[in-house]
Amino acid sequence: MPSQPNSNQKPPESPDNFTAIWWILFSVVTSSAMTIGVRDISSQLGSNIIVFLRASVSTALIIVAIILFAKLRKQLKFSKPWLHLIRGALIAFSTQLGFYSISNLPLLTVTVLFFLAPIWATLLAILFHGEKVGPRRIAAIAIGFIGAVVILRPGFGVLHPAMLTAMASSMLFALALTMSRGLARADGAFSTYFSSVVITVLVTLPFALPVFEIPASPRAWIAGAVIVVAGAARGYADIEAYRLGEAGILAPITYLRLVFIAGAAYFMYSEIPDMPTIIGAAIIISATLYIAQRETKLRRERLKSK
């Protein structure tokens, strides 16, 4: 597991975008590997089992590490248990819905729909936190959802339920993401990640038990190992990146996932994106990039005014 800064140190007020960029690049690579691993193993195991096994193994490995290393034990801190519980449940259901979508949709399509998360985050901030948003960001939100409609193509084909679960997954992930910065600054990235995997085990256990089975082939075991390692690394990297950096700087880098996923989808599964998916992706990316840049500008203005 990557090294974790001492959670007792006061986090920097000003962003450290240079370090955050390295974390988000690491997240891009590991999240792409996890997505490919989920698709590969989904031919043998249901998504319920995949989520449960990933969270269970990750939890077990972290507990062993905590027992062996006193430094990690000292980093454990849960000053806001209810927020850890809520965020963990959001991550659990987001992962459950997301893995189901990955198992049933073309890889590029599901990845693009996951990129609705920043749009959801902005919309949720308006609805639940009363954040004042100008007409330009409102327009960007609307344009982003138009991109989703282009991909979904309602009325022009079969609307797969996995398309809706992908959108729901991105919405829940957006909610969790808005909580990540505050929790990571209060309790550290290690505690924030640890609570999320433990809660994911508890939430997904009832869904996995009725259909539980162990993967049979060596390829499935390899894919499972990739999911566990890459998933843990991605979860930690996301927390660190958004704790340290600005969304407007990080957002463009996250779209490198589309390059990795598109290449893997083509060479491993002969998947070629159709034109509506490409058009919808361009629309969603444009909207999210604008929102991220606008958020960064407003944040800098708030810091200057202090």
When pLDDT is cut at 50, 70 and 90, the band that residue 4 belongs to is very low
Residue 10 has pLDDT above 60, yes or no: no
pLDDT of residue 30: 95
- As a whole-number percent, the residues of the chain with pLDDT over 70 amount to 89
pLDDT of residue 32: 94
pLDDT of residue 138: 81
Lowest mean pLDDT among 7-16, 34-43, 203-212, 290-299: 7-16
Residue 233 has pLDDT above 60, yes or no: yes
Sequence-distant (6+) residues with CB within 8 A of 199 are 84, 85, 88, 89, 91, 92
**Choice between 122 and 213, residue whose per-residue pLDDT is larger:** 213
Task: Convert the pLDDT of each residue in 89-143 to its tens digit.
Answer: 999 999 999 999 999 999 989 999 888 887 887 787 777 666 676 777 788 888 8
pLDDT of residue 155: 53
Residue 194 has pLDDT above 80, yes or no: yes
When pLDDT is cut at 50, 70 and 90, the band that residue 50 belongs to is very high
Residue 34 has pLDDT above 80, yes or no: yes
**Choice between 125 and 176, residue whose per-residue pLDDT is larger:** 176
Mean pLDDT of the chain: 84
Residue 12 has pLDDT above 50, yes or no: no
